């Protein structure tokens, strides 16, 4: 399927959605949002691109296999959990540090991992389905 209108809009919309997904990811810090929502929005952005340009272009644009993105996300989340363990606290315990007004901690890292898992996982499934059905 190729539609000039969809393809033109998709180019702008995908960029905006990716930006919005990062906003949601960071907003999840202490308001509704987070890695899962952000990941889904980013995945939907890529799915729009799949509909406009086809799965092959999306694979090319991603450069890496979506499954690898998901597994890297799993690794990031595991590391954020292990960080707590390293200080003698139980697995997944949050560690916090602050730079002035900005608090940073391992939950952000965990959220980033979730974001990557969701983007990678959803895209792997959608691309497989799209290529399967043709």
Partner 1 sequence: MEVLLAILIGVMFGASVYLMLSRNWVRYLFGFIVISNAVNLLLFAVGRVELGRPALVPPGLAAPDGPVANSLPQALILTAIVIGFGLLAFALVLASRAWAELGTVDVDAMRVAEPREDAAREGRDA
Partner 2 sequence: MRGLLIAPVVIPLATAVLLLVLRPSRRVEHALSALGCVALLGAALMLLVRVAGGGVAAMQLGDWAAPFGVSFVADRLGAAMVTVTAVIGLAVSVFAMAEIDDRRRRFGFAGFVQILLGGVCGAFLTGDVFNLYVWYEVMLIASFALLTLGGERIQIDGAVKYVALNMISTLLFLSGCGLLYGLTGTLNMADLHAKLPAVANQGLVTAVAVVFAIGFGIKAALFPLFFWLPASYHTPPVAVSALFAGLLTKVGVYSLIRFFTLIFTGDAAFTGALLAAAAAFTMVTGVLGAAAQNEMRRILGFHIVSQIGYMVMGLAIATPLALAGAVFYTLHHIVVKANLFLVSGVVRRLSGSGDLARTGGLYAQAPLLAALFLVPAFSLAGFPPLSGFWAKLFLVKAALEAQAPWIVAVLIGVGLLTVYSMTKIWAEVFWKAPPEPRAALPPLRGGERALLFGPIVGLAAITVAIGLWPAPLFDYADAAARELADPRDYVAAVLGSRP
Cα–Cα dist 28/25, whole Å: 5
Tokens of 66: 């979506």
Q: Which is nearer to partner 2, 51 or 72 (CB)?
A: 72
Binding flag, residue 36, partner 1 (CB under 8 A): yes
125 binds, among partner 2, partner 1, none (CB under 5 to 8 A by kind): partner 1
Name the residue with tokens 């959220």.
111
Helices and strands, number each (H, E), in the chain: 5, 2
Shortest distance in whole angstroms from residue 7 CB to partner 1:
26
Cα–Cα dist 26/45, whole Å: 18
CB 1 within 8 A of CB 51: yes
Helices 35-53, 4-27: inter-axial angle, 10-degree rounding? 170
Shortest distance in whole angstroms from residue 87 CB to partner 1:
26
Name the residue with tokens 């960071």.
26
Binding flag, residue 72, partner 2 (CB under 8 A): yes
Site string for partner 2, 16-55 (x = CB under 8 A): ----------------------------------------
Shortest distance in whole angstroms from residue 81 CB to partner 2:
8
Which of 26, 44, 92, 124 contacts partner 2 by CB under 8 A?
92
Q: Which residues bind partner 2 (CB under 8 A)?
A: 67-68, 71-72, 74-75, 78, 81-82, 84-85, 88-94
């Amino acid at each position: 399927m190729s539609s000039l209108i969809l393809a033109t809009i998709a180019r702008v919309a995908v960029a905006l959605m990716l930006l919005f997904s990062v906003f949601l990811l960071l907003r999840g810090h202490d308001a509704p949002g987070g890695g899962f929502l952000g990941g889904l929005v980013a995945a939907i952005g890529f799915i729009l691109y799949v509909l406009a340009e086809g799965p092959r272009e999306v694979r090319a644009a991603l450069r890496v296999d979506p499954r690898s993105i998901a597994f890297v996300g799993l690794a990031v989340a595991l590391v954020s959990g292990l960080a707590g363990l390293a200080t003698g606290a139980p697995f997944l315990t949050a560690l916090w540090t602050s730079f002035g007004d900005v608090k940073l901690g391992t939950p952000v890292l965990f959220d980033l991992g979730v974001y990557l898992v969701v983007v990678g996982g959803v895209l792997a499934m959608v691309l497989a389905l799209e290529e399967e059905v043709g």
